[in-house]
Amino acid sequence: MNNPADYITGLHHLTVSVGSAQEDIDFVTQVLGMRMIKQTVLFDGAASIYHLYYANADAEVGSVWTTFPFKKAGVYGRKGSGQIETSSFSVPTASLEFWVKHLNKHNVPHSGIIERFGDKMITFEDRSGIGMAVVGCDNDNRNAWETEEISKVNGIRGLFGATIRSRDIIEMDFYLTKVLKFSKVGQDGDFHRYHIKDGGAQKTIELHHVPNMEQGSWTFAVGIPHHIAFATAKDEHNLELKAYIEGFGYTDVTELKDRNYFHSIYNRTPSGALFEFATSDIGFAIDEEENLLGHQLLLPPVFEHRREEIVKPLEEIVLPKYLRV
Ligand SMILES: [Fe+2]
- Find the 104 Cα to ligand 1 centroid distance in Å: 31
Average pLDDT value for residue range 27-47: 95
Q: Please work out, in degrees rounded to the nearest 5, the angle formed at the alpha carbon of residue 193 by the alpha carbons of 189 and 199.
A: 150
170-185 pLDDT tens trace:
999 999 999 999 999 9
186-228 pLDDT tens trace:
999 999 999 999 999 999 999 999 999 999 999 999 999 999 9
- Find the 83 Cα to ligand 1 centroid distance in Å: 15
The burial class, CB within 10 Å (0-12 / 13-18 / 19+), for 36 is buried
Q: Give the Cα separation of 171 and 161 in Å (integer).
A: 20
- Find the 14 Cα to ligand 1 centroid distance in Å: 7
223-246 pLDDT tens trace:
999 999 999 999 999 999 999 999
- pLDDT tier, 2 (very low <50, low <70, confident <90, very high otherwise): confident
- Find the 251 Cα to ligand 1 centroid distance in Å: 20
- Find the 150 Cα to ligand 1 centroid distance in Å: 27
Which residue in 175, 168, 199, 171 sits closest to 185, CA to CA? 199
- Find the 276 Cα to ligand 1 centroid distance in Å: 6
- Find the 44 Cα to ligand 1 centroid distance in Å: 11
- Find the 284 Cα to ligand 1 centroid distance in Å: 13
**What fold characterizes domain 4-323?**
2,3-Dihydroxybiphenyl 1,2-Dioxygenase; domain 1 (3.10.180)
- Find the 264 Cα to ligand 1 centroid distance in Å: 8
Lowest mean pLDDT among 7-11, 42-46, 180-184, 270-274: 42-46
Percentage of the residues of the chain whose pLDDT score is greater than 70: 99
Q: Give the Cα separation of 94 and 202 in Å (integer).
A: 19
Residues 6 or more apart in contact with residue 238 via CB below 8 angstroms: 7, 232, 256, 263, 264, 265, 277, 279
- Find the 229 Cα to ligand 1 centroid distance in Å: 5
Total residues belonging to the chain:
325
Distances (CA, A) of 192 to 108, 114, 275, 297: 27, 17, 18, 40
Average pLDDT value for residue range 243-271: 97
72-91 pLDDT tens trace:
999 999 999 999 999 999 99
Domain boundaries, the chain: 4-323
H or E element: which one contains 261? none
Which residue in 226, 273, 227 sits closest to 75, CA to CA? 226
- Find the 123 Cα to ligand 1 centroid distance in Å: 23
Q: Give the Cα separation of 132 and 124 in Å (integer).
A: 5
Q: Are 46 and 251 in contact (CB under 8 A)?
A: no
Residues 6 or more apart in contact with residue 243 via CB below 8 angstroms: 4
Distances (CA, A) of 13 to 102, 111, 244, 293: 24, 24, 22, 17
- pLDDT tier, 46 (very low <50, low <70, confident <90, very high otherwise): confident
Q: Is the pLDDT of residue 169 over 80?
A: yes
- Find the 237 Cα to ligand 1 centroid distance in Å: 17
- Find the 192 Cα to ligand 1 centroid distance in Å: 24
- Find the 275 Cα to ligand 1 centroid distance in Å: 9
- Find the 272 Cα to ligand 1 centroid distance in Å: 16
- pLDDT tier, 108 (very low <50, low <70, confident <90, very high otherwise): very high
Which residues have C-beta under 5 Å from ligand 1, the single-atom ion? 15, 229, 276
Q: Is the pLDDT of residue 253 over 80?
A: yes
- Find the 218 Cα to ligand 1 centroid distance in Å: 14
Predicted local distance difference test score (pLDDT) of residue 299: 93
Q: Is the pLDDT of residue 97 over 60?
A: yes
Q: Is the pLDDT of residue 1 over 70?
A: no
- Find the 13 Cα to ligand 1 centroid distance in Å: 6
Q: Is the pLDDT of residue 272 over 60?
A: yes
Predicted local distance difference test score (pLDDT) of residue 324: 84
